[in-house]
Chain A
Amino acid sequence: MPILNKLNSFSLNMLMGPRKNLVMTIAFGLTGLILLGLSVSQINGVFALNKKLTTEQQKLTQLNKKAQELEQLKFSPEFAQADVVNKVLPSHKPLLELLNNLNSVAAETSVSITEFEINPGEIATDSTQVTQQVTAKKQSTDYNQLDLKLTIIGELNQIRRFMDFIERVSPLTTITSLTVDRKVEGGQLSGTTRADLALSTYYYTKSIASTLSSPLPEISAQEREIFQEILSFTPAELESQTEIISGENEDLFGISGLDVSDLEETLEIE
């Protein structure tokens, strides 16, 4: 064994002695190559990370902007009155509101509604389709309309006021057709005027969806003007039920406890 060790030491010295620089060159070269290979894969990773970082940064900027906008929204004067828009363009078929408005406007302008025709379609659910051909007149899929035909009688000024008022109530109602016929008798107009009107009341039907990073829509100057205008619209004042009158099965006519003489007295009073 000592002889073998001597030989090894000798051969190593023989190799390292005169050519040790070459051995180190090879060692540095190989290590450098390995490091270079590792660096290339790392650099590819760095580029991929940088790309991801840029995308993430853009997303973050969008989210930050959206979060700030949402914070500012809470203090926006328009948004504070957003409920007005829901009344002007409700998300349900506004049949009751329309009838209530007609009644209110007719009373306000002192005109008489003599004929009335409406086809509300299905009203059990919100935003159900009107089954008649009125849907063909739709101009947008975002909203639908409830059509109504009516005849009103009154003086021309009253009818003009009716037309003016009915287009300034919420839900949004538009006169789509109008026929006015005034009788001329002996060169003078008769007092009463008959007007046949067709009205359309609009309601919103589109479903709205949003993603987390999608930006908030902007409201144009024209829309702001229109919003200011609809703030002056008269809302439909539907009376809500305030008490419950229970059905009485045992005493249908409210005469329990009364005898015949009491009933006779009641009838005499009436």
Chain B
Amino acid sequence: MSEINFLQRRRAGLTKVEKQDFVYRRYALIFFSVAFSLFVVSIGSHIFLTQRLKRLSVQHQSLTEQIANDEPVEISFLIFSQKLKSIREIYENRSNKQQAIDYFSNIFGEQVFLSGMNYGGEGNQLTLRLTSEDIFAFENTLNVLDSTEVKNAFSSVTKSGLRRDETGSYSLDLAVELKKAGEQTNANPQ
């Protein structure tokens, strides 16, 4: 009696489906492995970074305390530096009037003397009155005033008001624009 296998096609069909399922399982396993690895790495990174942040917080706390302990030093230094900046600002606005007065007192010789001076105002201007009995002494004075040394030392030097009084003395007014200490000069009057 011959045997009839009614499930022969069924068996072949199932084997084909099983093979396909196996392939799917392999892909699913790969996907799972990747996801699991990612999960482990992310958890690990999270823990590592959290620990690092904790360590930084401890260091932060320690440094904060250290700086807080040095607060008097910091305040003193801040006051020191701010005041020094203000002093520099005041210094920059100062003009070299003493040097200018000394310069013009000595440069013209003994026959010409300084009989008056005026300093002040917004223009930082020094006005000097030079007096001499000898008109020829002024010739030398004018030459000195026109020299490059004077021009380099001062922003501008203006001569005006040459006059003679009843005693026979001559006088000349000199307006000198002073450079502020903050401005760079290439020649300092000595």
Question: Which positions in A face B, CB cutoff 8 Å?
Answer: 18-22, 24-29, 31-33, 35-36, 38-39, 42-43, 45-46, 49-50, 52-53, 56-57, 59-60, 63-64, 66-67, 70-71, 73-74, 78-79, 82, 85-86, 88-89, 91, 139-140, 142-143, 156, 160, 163-164, 167, 172, 174-182, 184, 186-187, 189, 198, 202, 204, 206, 208, 210, 212, 216-220, 222-223, 226-227, 230
Contacts and interface: CB of A to CB of B under 8 A. Distances in A.
Given A67-B66, A178-B117, A180-B117, A160 B102 contact: yes
List of 7 A-B pairs having minimum Cβ-Cβ separation, nearest first = A177-B120, A21-B21, A42-B42, A28-B28, A32-B32, A32-B35, A35-B35
A79 B18 CA distance: 86
Question: Majority SS of interface residues in chain B?
Answer: helix
Interface residues of B, number: 77
Given A45-B46, A63-B64, A67-B67, A189 B115 contact: yes
A143 B181 CA distance: 19
Interface in B11-49: 14, 17-18, 21-22, 24-25, 27-29, 31-32, 34-36, 38-39, 41-43, 45-46, 49
B13 to A, nearest CB: 10
Given A36-B35, A53-B56, A208-B78, A182 B73 contact: no
Nearest to A209: B78
Nearest to A180: B117
Contact of A32 (B31, B41, B60, B78): B31
Residue among B87, B116, B119 facing the most chain A CB atoms (10 A cut-off): B87
Nearest to A185: B167
Contacts of A206: 82, 86
A167 B98 contact: yes
